[in-house]
Amino acid sequence: MIKFNDKKKESDRIKAYKLLNKLKDKGISRPEIIKILIDNYGVNKGRVYDWYSGRNMPWKLKEKVEHLEYCEELFYLLGAMLGDGCIYEWKGQFQVKIYGEKEFIEKCAIKLSLCLKKDIKCYYYKSYFKTRGSHLWYIQTSHKKLFMLFQSIRTDLGMVLNLMKNKSFKGNSINFIEGFFDAEGCV
């Protein structure tokens, strides 16, 4: 018998969940399915009820719908990310961050909100001020598509040119350069 706890592999939960769906498709009654999963996998009775009714499922099976619009604002962000951005993966979360002065970060937050169709907030980096004495702001989001796009662009800058050609090459390239200069440049 497999016992579930917080450290149990997600793959065992997925196997139990898939077995539940197979048994359900065969027309086996709910009490029988619950008994089989408890006996064979040691799954919590409440969890099986949630799986059976469709209220819950193992986390790895959930599809997260992420919106990413390829517009001129996205190219501004790609330029800004090449200048002052970073990406990292932590516990299955694909984090994207951009650092800078308050005005620059507010501008990035507005443009990122338009691209992702979700609200992006600006944050003040207190510990940076305490250690270095300067004001640093950042935006942060967990978004796999944007993470993968930026990761591929960092390894192959030619990909940016191919993406720019999709709609308005001139507008996209101007926004890309503007984002990069806002992050890095000075005149």
pLDDT, one tens digit per residue, over 153-180 is 989 888 888 888 888 889 999 999 999 9
E strand spans, the chain: 85-90, 93-100, 122-124, 137-142
Q: Which residues contact 103 (CB under 8 A, 6 or more apart)?
A: none
123 by DSSP, 3-state: which?
strand
d(CA 171, CA 174): 5
Q: In the prediction, which pLDDT does 107 show? A: 95
Q: Which CATH number fits domain 72-184: 1.10.150.120, 3.30.230.10, 3.10.28.10, 3.40.50.300?
A: 3.10.28.10
Residue 28 is which amino acid?
I
Decide: 68 and 115 in contact? Cβ < 8 Å.
yes
Q: In the prediction, which pLDDT does 151 show? A: 92
C-alpha distances out from residue 148 to 48, 51, 125, Å: 35, 31, 25
Q: In the prediction, which pLDDT does 25 show? A: 87
- From 57, 56, 78, 71, select the one nearest 182 (Cα to Cα): 78
pLDDT at residue 3 greater than cutoff 60: no
pLDDT, one tens digit per residue, over 45-104 is 888 888 887 777 775 555 556 788 888 899 999 999 999 899 999 877 889 999 999 999
Domain ranges of the chain: 10-61, 72-184
pLDDT, one tens digit per residue, over 107-149 is 999 999 999 888 899 988 877 666 666 788 999 998 889 999 9
62 by DSSP, 3-state: which?
coil
1 vs 153, which has greater pLDDT? 153
Mean local confidence (pLDDT), 30-37 = 89
